[in-house]
Structure 1
Amino acid sequence: MLKKVDLFELYRKGIIKEGGHSINVPIKKANGDKYDGKTYSIPLEYLYYNNQNGRIGVALSEYENAKGTLIPEHSEEYNKIIQKILTDSDQKTKKDMNKLKRDISIKRQEEPGYVLSDGRVIDGNRRFTALRLLEQDDSILEQQYFEAVILDDLSVQNHDDQKKIKSLELQIQFGKLDKVDYNPIDRAMDAFKTVKKNNIMSAKEYAEYAGIKAVDVNKRILEAELIVEFLNFVNVDEDNFSLAKELDLDGPIQEMLPLYRKNKNSENLPQILNTLFSKIIQMRSSNEDFKSEFRQVVKDVIGTDTEQKFIEEMEEATDTIVDVLDRPKPIKNNVELFTILDGDKSTVQALSEVKVISSKYSEKAKNLKEKNIPLTLIEKAHSNIEAINKQHLINLEKKEMDRLKSRLLSLKDYIDEILLEEF
């Protein structure tokens, strides 16, 4: 039985106090009225995390993939799970959260958050976490309070309200904390889930609320689609976006976006993706930098005359990887993924072959590119000279004309030297 909370009822009972702020709420009520922006000082025990928050949703995916769906509710067990996700995911997260905890302990909570009347924290999850950490600190005796505006007429169960809540999150989070709070994969998956998967709002609306261009929203959605394709390739639940962060897929996926967009409706797309996904796995298993070989393959092999031959040579290794990862239960995280790959002799050999083949084609593409550089430069020089309007030469001063003739004669001498070379 879920614990029922009504923050306004608690306010009437004197448990919740009035806060010290009145802020301009960037959304309006369903009837068009403005929220009064009044803040309240709320004991932490009556609040709980919002699992639909973009950043929390991505981080929560690994936990739910391993242990099942986590039901948002008023329980310390639920809050502790989310708190751990928001504080212990990596060293940078721990450092940032400890800094925020110290700042709030000294300056108090300077910026109010937003909550629903049932205690769901819509905005301010990091501040809420820092306050929870302070309350759990044995050296701090005073009770902690979260100061927030209570949005009294919204529910996450209502589709129209979901849109309002999401618009508020976008305006606040992406408007102020974009570079701090959201990494590229979080941003991509949030746009994908909001626009394409859950149909909460259009790409145009998302762009307007987040203060970005619609083309950038669509780019994020494409990136998320590619991530989902990768997760399907490695037999990971497509909601387990945290694995994409663990594998740091943003860089390689960004490199693939132009070809994905170009080949989205091509029947060859599955072959292209599987081949490149095999290369990504090989890179991550050997800590190889994607900016050299992978980038060369994506830009100078795929889409050229050598593409089909490259895919054909990679096919056996790719099929081996797919077959080994094709298991009844989805893989849960990158540790399990590489434990499976490293524990099978056929995939170890396959990944070695992926490295050899991709290196060969990358080197070929590089050599071809360098081989064509002289011709490219000569053609460019020829075009530049042809572009000279001879009528303009008449107006040149003598000094400029002498300099021009000198440069032309020097250029002619260099061309003659090249022509005398034995090729």
Structure 2
Amino acid sequence: MSLLKEGIETGNVLPTGRKDKRSIDGVTRDFDIYRIKCDLLFYNDQNDRIATWVSEYNSAHDDDLRTLEHDEYNDVIEDFIVKSNSVALKKTETSIALQGQLRSGTVLNDGRVIDGNRRLTCVRRLARENNKAGWFEAAILDDATGSDPKRIKLLELTIQIGEEEKVAYDPVDRLVGVYRDVIKNKLISPAEYGNATGLTEAEVKKFIDRAQYMEEFLKFCQAPEQYHLARALKVDGPLGEFKRILKKYESKRDKELVKQLMFANIVVQPEGDITRYIRCFADAAGTDAEAEFKAEEQQAMGELIEKMGSQPLTREKVNDLRSDAHLVEGFTRAGDRARETVRRINLMDTPVKKSADCYKMLEQILPEMLAVLRPNELEKVRSNLEDVCDKAEDLISEIDSRA
């Protein structure tokens, strides 16, 4: 059905007389805003905001979400949107109930909602409460735009992220969008993603790196593209540490091993803050603690892989693994020993570093600098240097007594 033809002819699409600006392909122009019967619209299942929820549904059902009838399809996705951020949704719903829909959405001529899924959900819920037909206000894009997936995605990113991110995406949902559109399907380039969202090249690169690590992590869990598992385990934080940590390891073999070990730690979560915990791999790199730490971690990971079995990990299975005291203890012990070794190394290094720093600072005091000081200032310098000499003699005496 064409909203701009049959919709208007049947009175299910009504012009409001208002116009709002939309930017398409870098060109900004005014679009007429219409009131559209909600039952003519359908949610965009490719919206990044619900990407992990769609993956969860499809993994749990024999039929793909897109095979559902119109009303059932909308009801299922509405439930995703409510669950994804129920608190923020309730605030929006209350605002619309009191003031009406203040921001118009954007829909395609066939009824697919490109921007405004949350507002449409609020309008639908309010209409049901009052036993009325819901009307959604939106700009309607012509068929030329609606037939181009790339233009649709860039428009969605520009509106939902680039212009104003009223309710932030779940970090993992954002990574899913980057992986799906930039890495896997190559629908848009990194530069196009950055232009649409207002991100710098370096910021986009960070998202791409995390998205790739996320997919590798899911393969480690034998659950490729099961993005709901990544969301449930809140992997965005620890994955953000990976690039910095892996830089500390030189060989390709070491980098791959450490990456797999960090994946194992994310699954088991030996401590509450897993992001902080995996920094042990950075602290241990290049120290006397590294070899033993990796060996103990490998042993713990071997036990984990055996207990994971051959089936894809689920949230329930992860909970069982995290409740296995013996398994968790293996990872905890490795981390504790590594931290203690690194702490001792740092303590031993501290006197060496501080004495070297002290000498470097004294070297910066040139004789000619003293010539411009007043007598009272020279006396202060002399007093400070005498204190330094006294302290140095005390430390030298202590060193000699231990020789």
* Structure-2-length-normalised TM-score: 0.90
Look up the equivalent residue of 1:207 and give its one-letter code. Answer: G
Is 1:288 matched with 2:275? no
Is 1:267 matched with 2:267? no
Equivalent in the alignment of 1:12: 9
Equivalent in the alignment of 2:74: 79
Q: How much has 1:342 moved relative to structure 2? A: 6.3
What CA distance in whole angstroms lies between the structure 2 residues aligned with 1:302 and 1:362? Answer: 11
**What are the within-5 Å matches in structure 2 for residues 354-393 of structure 1?**
354-393=331-370
Equivalent in the alignment of 2:305: 322
The answer to whether the 8 Å contact 2:322/2:328 transfers is no
Cα distance change of structure 1 residues 408 and 110 upon mapping to structure 2, 3 Å threshold: same
The answer to whether the 8 Å contact 1:278/1:354 transfers is no
What CA distance in whole angstroms lies between the structure 1 residues aligned with 2:355 and 2:381? Answer: 19
Is 1:96 matched with 2:88? yes
Q: How much has 1:380 moved relative to structure 2? A: 2.0
SS at structure 2 position matched to 1:319? helix
What CA distance in whole angstroms lies between the structure 2 residues aligned with 1:178 and 1:302? Answer: 39
Cα distance change of structure 1 residues 146 and 261 upon mapping to structure 2, 3 Å threshold: farther
The answer to whether the 8 Å contact 2:3/2:13 transfers is no
The answer to whether the 8 Å contact 2:101/2:137 transfers is yes
Look up the equivalent residue of 2:19 and give its one-letter code. Answer: S
Q: How much has 1:234 moved relative to structure 2? A: 1.6
SS at structure 1 position matched to 2:65? coil
The answer to whether the 8 Å contact 1:189/1:220 transfers is no
Equivalent in the alignment of 1:148: 138
**What are the within-5 Å matches in structure 2 for residues 143-182 of structure 1?**
143-154=133-144, 161-178=148-165, 180-182=167-169
Q: How much has 1:179 moved relative to structure 2? A: 6.9
Once the two structures are superposed, residues 36-62 of structure 1 have per-residue CA deviations (whole angstroms, 9 ceiling, x without a partner) of 411111111011111111111233211
What CA distance in whole angstroms lies between the structure 2 residues aligned with 1:171 and 1:264? Answer: 39
SS at structure 2 position matched to 1:17? strand
In structure 2, which of residues 359, 363, 383 is the aligned counterpart of residue 406 of structure 1? Answer: 383
The answer to whether the 8 Å contact 2:288/2:341 transfers is no
SS at structure 2 position matched to 1:267? helix
What CA distance in whole angstroms lies between the structure 2 residues aligned with 1:270 and 1:369? Answer: 27
Equivalent in the alignment of 2:22: 25
Cα distance change of structure 1 residues 188 and 379 upon mapping to structure 2, 3 Å threshold: farther
Runs of at least 5 residues in structure 1 that lack an aligned partner in the other structure: none
What CA distance in whole angstroms lies between the structure 2 residues aligned with 1:113 and 1:182? Answer: 18
SS at structure 1 position matched to 2:229? helix
Cα distance change of structure 1 residues 372 and 72 upon mapping to structure 2, 3 Å threshold: farther
Q: 4+ residue stretches of structure 1 with deviation over 6 A? A: none
What CA distance in whole angstroms lies between the structure 2 residues aligned with 1:61 and 1:252? Answer: 22
The two structures, once aligned, show a CA RMSD in angstroms of 2.6
Once the two structures are superposed, residues 277-307 of structure 1 have per-residue CA deviations (whole angstroms, 9 ceiling, x without a partner) of 2222222xx5522355432x12211354543
SS at structure 2 position matched to 1:25? strand
Q: How much has 1:367 moved relative to structure 2? A: 2.5
What CA distance in whole angstroms lies between the structure 1 residues aligned with 2:250 and 2:371? Answer: 54
The answer to whether the 8 Å contact 1:112/1:148 transfers is yes
The count of aligned residue pairs is 399
What CA distance in whole angstroms lies between the structure 2 residues aligned with 1:325 and 1:107? Answer: 52
Q: How much has 1:177 moved relative to structure 2? A: 4.4
Look up the equivalent residue of 1:76 and give its one-letter code. Answer: D
Equivalent in the alignment of 1:201: 188
Cα distance change of structure 1 residues 53 and 406 upon mapping to structure 2, 3 Å threshold: same
Look up the equivalent residue of 2:344 and give its one-letter code. Answer: N
SS at structure 1 position matched to 2:93? helix
Look up the equivalent residue of 2:24 and give its one-letter code. Answer: I
User: Identity over aligned residues, as a percent?
Assistant: 29
The answer to whether the 8 Å contact 1:25/1:37 transfers is yes
What CA distance in whole angstroms lies between the structure 2 residues aligned with 1:88 and 1:360? Answer: 41
Q: How much has 1:310 moved relative to structure 2? A: 2.1
Please, which moves more after superposition, 198-207 or 6-15? Answer: 6-15
What CA distance in whole angstroms lies between the structure 2 residues aligned with 1:149 and 1:122? Answer: 10
Cα distance change of structure 1 residues 292 and 169 upon mapping to structure 2, 3 Å threshold: closer
**What are the within-5 Å matches in structure 2 for residues 187-336 of structure 1?**
187-236=174-223, 238-260=224-246, 266-283=252-269, 288-290=272-274, 292-295=276-279, 297-327=280-310, 329-331=311-313, 333-336=314-317
Is 1:51 matched with 2:45? yes
What CA distance in whole angstroms lies between the structure 2 residues aligned with 1:126 and 1:216? Answer: 27
SS at structure 2 position matched to 1:212? coil
The answer to whether the 8 Å contact 1:279/1:355 transfers is no
Cα distance change of structure 1 residues 99 and 325 upon mapping to structure 2, 3 Å threshold: same
In structure 2, which of residues 104, 107, 117 is the aligned counterpart of residue 115 of structure 1? Answer: 107
Please, which moves more after superposition, 410-419 or 114-123? Answer: 410-419
Q: How much has 1:414 moved relative to structure 2? A: 1.8
* Structure-1-length-normalised TM-score: 0.86
Look up the equivalent residue of 1:353 and give its one-letter code. Answer: G
Cα distance change of structure 1 residues 261 and 16 upon mapping to structure 2, 3 Å threshold: farther
